[in-house]
Structure 1
Amino acid sequence: MPEGVTDPNYQPLPGRLGNLTVPQQHALEKFKKELQDEGIFDPERMDDALLLRFLRARKFDIEKAKIMLVACEQWRKDFGIDELMANFDFKEKEQVNKYYPQYYHKIDKDGRPIYIERLGLLNIPELYAITTPERQLKRLVYEYEKNFNERLPACSRSVGHPVETSCTILDLKNVSLTNFYRVKDYVMSASSIGQDRYPESMGKFYIINAPWAFSTVWSFIKPWLDEVTVSKIDILGSSYKDKLLLQIPEDNLPKEFGGKCDCPGGCSLSDAGPWNLQD
């Protein structure tokens, strides 16, 4: 069982620490040794849980997992992750929140941080008068890093077992196909970063208020996603409340989605959760 587990009911999912088959354990050990021998291994960052993310993403094929991880390491250098985390200041956050809300807010019943994105509120002219697609991507990566380095460890401590994934709500209320196609390059870049650079980070993904035309958009997005990812996605119309409340405590779900949470100043700017001592 992984260290730090205090939840007596915790059962690790297959392929996680505490629930590895003998071949999977051997694959983990061989993967780590090859990375060490080739000078790729970073002991500060590459714990067993991270190595297992890449192995699971490539169905424990060590060579494919290594190719994926090496590509990720090169991307981290090219993107300038260290400099980004030290100096990035998304000072336009409050203004951007009016035209494209994207935020983490509290946890679901499995202890996962909840990530909410309201694509239907997207206002392209206003958004790009305030920020740029490049800064939006930097913000996305900054939040991914914060999620892995701060939010997930805080959630793990809070619930007494490892939390490795997030619970996402994508709200498409009043979304227009025109708006989507105007940001599809950003959406595809964001999807690629999530899948290729932060693998195995999706727990549940709810697409709510999906309009009838969403089937067209879904057919465009679906081929970009692997089958495991697709299996975690629930596409819901306007009758989504009961399904969300099966996964998210009512007190943790913002009131605009049928919950009871009404953070001072708005849930979308509160960053409330175990990672924030103000919560």
Structure 2
Amino acid sequence: MAAATEQKLPIDPKYDSYDFPTTAPEAQPGHPGHTTPEQDEKVLKLREDLEKDGYTERLDTLTLLRFLRARKFDLAASKAMFVGCEKWRKEFGTDTLPATFDYKEKAEVSKFYPQYYHKTDKDGRPVYIEKMGKIDLNAMYKITTGDRMLQNLVTEYEKLSDPRLPACSRKAGKLLETCCSIMDLKGVGITSIPSVYGYVRQASEISQNYYPERLGKLYLINAPWGFSSVFSVVKGFLDPVTVNKIHVLGSGYQKELLAQVPKENLPVEFGGSCSCEGGCELSDMGPWQEAEWARPPAWANKKEEAPAPAAVENEDPGYEKKDAEGQEGVQTSA
């Protein structure tokens, strides 16, 4: 196969309308601006096949390239992944969530499971933080429901795609398609393993199947004793490209983390100097909030015409869920 050289992204005016840079900063094969003629041809063929099957949404070049990279540019596998994603989006009501979903209990839920986007790393990517050691599902189910937690997770993924990543790309002057994630494992013990496993399984399924190629780096900090040994076994089942993105760190993580995230962008509790008014966990600070770089997301224009997300039985945040024995089938990912 011919070597990839830096080039402009092949644009299809019918689907491509970008107001941010479209060349990836690193010359990685298959990434925008670094594709081969054969890879460009596969984008065209995948779009053509999907159009024949009646698909009209999300056929832009950047999106199709992500699905192709996720399946090593295997056309049949990439198409199957895209079709599966579209089926899920329709069933879940994904397209309407960013404009209509109101997670009014977010501040209360955050006390038992902090998860939030906060500023950027040194590469300009959004930083996403989770504190898994504080998970208390029983307390959370007195405030919200498993269904609403899952809707919030998907809403935030949609907002990562637009407006967060486009705003970061404009500010950085280069295409940014991934985020830098920090997962704090402090306090994760034997009693919380079921909760943690449920979250990891659910989040991984949604991320891998429906939002491919969004992970830039993942820092697992405050990893408990023995975690590294377990992870070394798990690595054997992961794609080498994914493994290289994951960094398992113990309690002495600050030096390596600060090498990736500017001190002024990292919350104080993780060794940084940022202390947002009202708390970093609820600030949602980043280029997507800065007038110079922010633009109204595409989904904002559809708010009035979009129906509300499908009603969920007993969705009232004041509704208390059943105990563990009565939660079969409840999706517990936030």
Task: Check whether TM > 0.5.
Answer: yes
- Specify the alignment match of 2:51 in structure 1: 36
Please state if 1:268 is matched with 2:281: yes
For 1:191, give the aligned amino acid.
Answer: S
Please state if 1:204 is matched with 2:210: no
Greater mean deviation of Cα atoms: 262-271 or 217-226: 217-226
- Specify the alignment match of 1:62 in structure 2: 75
In 2, the alpha carbon distance for the partners of 1:110 and 1:34 equals 35
Q: 1:213 to 1:75 in 2, by over 3 A?
A: same
* Residues 174-233 of structure 1: CA deviation (Å, up to 9, x unaligned): 112321213422331111000110000000000000001435764797687544322211
For 1:261, give the aligned amino acid.
Answer: C
Q: 1:7 to 1:72 in 2, by over 3 A?
A: closer
- Specify the alignment match of 2:42 in structure 1: 27
Question: Which of 123, 134, 139 in structure 1 is aligned with 2:136?
Answer: 123
For 1:13, give the aligned amino acid.
Answer: Q
Q: How does 1:1-279 map to 2 (within 5 A)?
A: 1-2=8-9, 10-42=25-57, 45-215=58-228, 218=231, 225-277=238-290
The TM-score with structure 1 as length reference comes to 0.91
Q: 1:100 to 1:65 in 2, by over 3 A?
A: same
In 1, the alpha carbon distance for the partners of 2:158 and 2:218 equals 19
Query: Post-superposition shift, 1:140?
Result: 0.4
Query: Post-superposition shift, 1:134?
Result: 1.7
Kept in 2, the 8 Å contact 1:137–1:186? The answer is no
The TM-score with structure 2 as length reference comes to 0.77
- Specify the alignment match of 2:295 in structure 1: none
Runs (5+) with no aligned partner, structure 1: none
In 1, the alpha carbon distance for the partners of 2:236 and 2:107 equals 34
Give the SS at the match of 1:131: coil
In 2, the alpha carbon distance for the partners of 1:245 and 1:114 equals 12
Identity %: 52
In 2, the alpha carbon distance for the partners of 1:261 and 1:7 equals 31
Bigger helix fraction: 1
In 2, the alpha carbon distance for the partners of 1:210 and 1:183 equals 13
Q: 1:264 to 1:18 in 2, by over 3 A?
A: same
Measured on the aligned residues, the alpha-carbon RMSD in Å equals 2.4
Kept in 2, the 8 Å contact 1:7–1:160? The answer is no
* Residues 9-54 of structure 1: CA deviation (Å, up to 9, x unaligned): 9444321121001221111121111112222232xx3311110000
Higher RCO (CA 8 Å, separation ≥ 6 residues): 2
For 2:112, give the aligned amino acid.
Answer: Y
* Residues 145-187 of structure 1: CA deviation (Å, up to 9, x unaligned): 0110110011011111111000000000111232121342233
Kept in 1, the 8 Å contact 2:108–2:143? The answer is yes
In 2, the alpha carbon distance for the partners of 1:100 and 1:9 equals 33
Kept in 1, the 8 Å contact 2:23–2:174? The answer is no
Give the SS at the match of 1:54: helix
In 2, the alpha carbon distance for the partners of 1:260 and 1:278 equals 24
